[in-house]
Structure 1
Amino acid sequence: MPDSSKTEKATPKKRQDERKKGNIFQSTDIVSAISLLSIFLILRMSLPNAYEFMQQFITRYFSYTSSMDSLSQASVIDIAKDCIGAILTLAGPVMLTSITAAIIGTALQTKLKFSKEKIKFKFSNISPLQGMKRIFSIRSIVELIKSVVKISIMIYLLYTSLLSISHDFTKMMYADVYQGVLFILENIMSIVLKLCAAFIVISALDYLYQWWEYERNIRMSKQDLKEEYKQMEGDPHVKGQQRERRRKMSMQRMMQQVPTADVIVRNPTHFAVALRYDIENDAAPIVVAKGQDYSALRIIAIAEKHNIPMTENKPLAQALYREVEVNRPIPAEYYVVLAEIMAWVYSMKRGSADIEGSK
């Protein structure tokens, strides 16, 4: 019985852990219903050809009795090969269909998840006490009720179907073998399809029950949620992954701001700081991006692509990189140096504008 304190739905991590243990809900009735339906559908489609094949096979071997005086070792081997081939021809499609249907029915529910935990030796599997608990558990009672219901439905369908066709049995006395076999097979198929339809309904209900029971068994208490949260937050690997994701997102946002810069101060490739200065809105130049080594090379490459002016100033580039955060204004002690640089940038822009105007 599940713990009454476990009232919360299972978290994704809890579900993943349960899957690793092999604890996956599935309905065996679904697999049985799909297999049964598939087998009899393939039988219904292949029976005319199977009947003709068997007729030719039996006729051919009965004809050998009039022409074969004795059996040799070679002829016995040939007959055995023919019989094995006939069995495989008749039973092969049914066997392949049954295996395929079972695999599909299982895969749809479990995604063919393999777990080593299920094949490990556990003392509880051979413990008499645990065995008695399983025998007298709620699950066993439910399985017993399901079996009784299925058997009752099967008996009822068989009884009503045989009762409805019983008056036609006397007509078989005047029919040939082929018609008799065909009549019997058609009625067998009709009964089987009714049973399959009933089992599909039962398996659908069983699937819902298995899902409900699984969800109930993996529920968590509030304390379990707190412990899981602490475990995930305290995991160095998880923290490292989170930091790396944040760093990549921050780097991407920073690189997107480089085209808005007015000038790049670099040293010459080890440090690069991108500055923007809007006279109307900014009280001082703003650092929109900064980088060292590889990040500096990326900033320089983007700046070259967008024709942003660059100046080499080793002390200033290192100081701005170490002291000023991204999207923050530069300190007052660098105003004089930056004023000269910005004046140079504006003179370059005016020169470019004059050249464009003369053209």
Structure 2
Amino acid sequence: MAGDSKTEKATPKRRQDERKKGNVLVSKDIVTVVSLIGTFFALKILFPQMIANIKTFIYKAFGYAQTKSDITDDFVMVLTKETTLAFIQIVAPVILISVSLSIIATVAQTKPLFVVDSLKPKFNRINPLQGIKRLFSLKSLFDVIKGIIKIAILITILYSFITDSLLTISRTPQMDVSPSCVVLMDLTMSLVFKICLAFIAISVFDLFFQWWEYERQIKMSKHELKEEYKQMEGDPQIKSKINEVQRKMAMSRMMQAVPDADVVIKNPTHFAVALKYDFEKDGAPILLAKGQDEVALRIIKAAEDNDIYVLENKPLARAIFATTDINQEIPADFYGTVAEILVYVYKLKNKKLI
């Protein structure tokens, strides 16, 4: 159906719902590149210390081995302990930096996010039909093309690196261990730098594609927009019925207050306002009810049925109707005119105004 085609941009609520499900924009290539660059720069900085740790381990191992004529359990235990400690000292900082950079790069894209639903098993992932659908999706095609481009770039860079550095590499066996390690490290960093430059360009392109794919995936149909609006704002028909009921209840309360009025001022059938003044409680006359056309006629009839004096004053009726809300005091501009009316009405009913 035309209404089911997803042509509309996702609303903030839809984006928030997708985020709660764990469906957020993230480029894995960005994470890989950040981790790769950070790791190899850490290797370059930590390389002298790593070489020193390796030397210390070798000296300890050979020194301890010279004191033993045969292999014993104690020798194996000590050697295992020293090997483990050396491994931690050499490798652990690099691994920690790599993992930390991966986490930082991911959180920078997704913001802090923990989704419980992602821990639940999703059996649709093992559905063969769903698997085939994902296999031939646009995203899968892009990943395949991206993988081929990565391999081609990597082969090109490696070939260029080997042809340019073969002579230098062939001379390292003639050097001492430390200088040869430094040379190999420099060559490796040069190679990694070239690879990182190429992969940065790919990751930027991947980020734009992931953004485009994510926006396309979370698009909404017009029907979904209407349903979301109903959920957020309520069904318009139900809201209309609620408003109608509220209006009827307010009208009923207002009409019940008309018999308590001192006077009703009309114009002559289009507007009607019912006023009451209690000098012991009120600072000014209070508007108990007001209405226009049919409601005005109902107010007038209720006043007549309850022996409430009805006075015709077109300008005053219109002005009070327009400026005063129910159960509010009339504006000061009308005090004089309304006071004269109330004095007249109170005289007719032998009541005292104050």
CA distance in 2 between partners of 1:154 and 1:4 (Å): 44
Q: What SS is found at the alignment partner of 1:220?
A: coil
Alignment of 1:201-350 (within 5 A): 201-234=201-234, 315-316=281-282, 320=286, 325=325, 329=331, 335=339
Structure 1 residues 56 and 89 mapped into 2: Cα distance closer, same or farther (>3 Å)? same
**Structure 1 pair 322/139, CA: closer, same or farther in 2 (3 Å)?**
same
The reply on whether 1:16 has 2:20 as its aligned counterpart is no
Q: Report the counterpart of residue 270 of structure 1 in structure 2.
A: none
Shifted more, 114-123 versus 16-25: the winner is 114-123
Question: Aligned residue for 1:126?
Answer: 126
2:250 maps to what in 1? none
Q: Secondary structure at the match of 2:6?
A: coil
C-alpha distance 228-37 of structure 1, shift in aligned 2 (>3 A): same
Q: Partner of 2:98 in structure 1?
A: 98
Give structure 1 stretches of 5+ with no counterpart. Answer: 240-311, 339-359
CA distance in 1, matches of 2:7, 2:329: 47
1:138-187, CA deviations, whole angstroms, 9 ceiling, x for partnerless residues? 21111100111111111111111111112324433542332222222211
Count residues with an aligned counterpart. Answer: 263
Q: Deviations over 1:95-133 (max 9, x none)?
A: 111110111111011113222333333332111111111
Structure 1 residues 172, 80: CA separation in 2 closer, same or farther (over 3 Å shift)? closer
- Equivalent position amino acid for 1:115 in 2: V
- Secondary structure (helix, strand or coil) at the match of 1:316 reads coil
Give the whole-Å Cα distance in 2 for the aligned partners of 1:195 and 1:211: 24
Cα deviation, 1:315-342, whole Å, max 9, x if unaligned, reads 2169749776469626759747x9xxxx
- Partners of 2:97 and 2:20 lie apart in 1 by 30
Residue 50 of structure 1 deviates from its aligned partner by 0.7
Give the letter aligned to residue 222 of structure 1. K
Aligned-residue sequence identity (percent) comes to 40
* Runs of at least 5 residues in structure 2 that lack an aligned partner in the other structure: 240-277, 290-323, 343-354
- 2:18 and 2:235 map into 1 onto residues whose CA distance is 19
CA shift in 2, pair 1:226/1:167, >3 Å: same
Are the equivalent residues in 1 in contact too, given 2:39–2:94 (CA < 8 A)? yes
Matches within 5 A, 1:140-151: 140-151=140-151
Q: Give me the whole-angstrom Cα distance separating, in 2, the residues matched to 1:55 and 1:322.
A: 97
Q: Secondary structure at the match of 1:195?
A: helix
Q: Could you tell me how far apart the structure 2 residues matched to 1:216 and 1:187 are?
A: 43
Sort the Cα spacing of 1:314 and 1:106 in 2 relative to 1 into closer, same or farther, 3 A.
farther
TM-score (norm 1): 0.65
Aligned counterparts of 1:37 and 1:60: Cα–Cα separation in 2: 33
- Tell me which residue corresponds to 2:256: none
> What's 2:85 paired with?
85
Q: Residue type of the partner of 2:166?
A: S
Q: Aligned with 1:181: secondary structure?
A: helix
Q: Match for 1:140: what amino acid?
A: S
1:176 aligns with 2:142: no
Tell me the residue number matched to 2:60: 60
**Within 2, Cα distance between the matches of 1:129 and 1:91?**
44
Q: Are residues 65 and 78 of structure 1, via their aligned partners in 2, closer, same or farther at CA, if it must alter by over 3 Å?
A: closer
Report how far residue 225 of structure 1 moved.
2.4
Kept after mapping to 2: 8 A contact 1:25/1:210:
yes
Alpha-carbon distance in 2 for matches of 1:89, 1:175: 26
The structural deviation recorded for 1:92 is 1.0
| Deviation of the 1:45 alpha carbon | 0.6
Aligned-partner residue type, residue 159 of structure 1: Y
CA distance in structure 2 between the partners assigned to 1:335 and 1:109 by the alignment: 71
Q: Secondary structure at the match of 1:164?
A: helix
Q: Tell me the SS of whatever aligns to 1:315.
A: coil
Is 2:39 the partner of 1:39? yes
Q: Report the Cα distance in structure 2 between the residues aligned to 1:115 and 1:318, rounded to whole angstroms.
A: 61
CA RMSD, 1 decimal = 3.1
Q: 1:314 to 1:128 in 2, by over 3 A?
A: farther
Q: Which residue of 1 aligns with 2:165?
A: 165
Q: Aligned partners of 1:191 and 1:86: how far apart in 2?
A: 27
Aligned counterparts of 1:194 and 1:170: Cα–Cα separation in 2: 21
**Matches of 1:123 and 1:168, distance apart in 2:** 55
Q: Which runs of 4+ in 1 moved over 6 A?
A: none
- Bigger Cα displacement from structure 2, 76-85 vs 326-335: 326-335
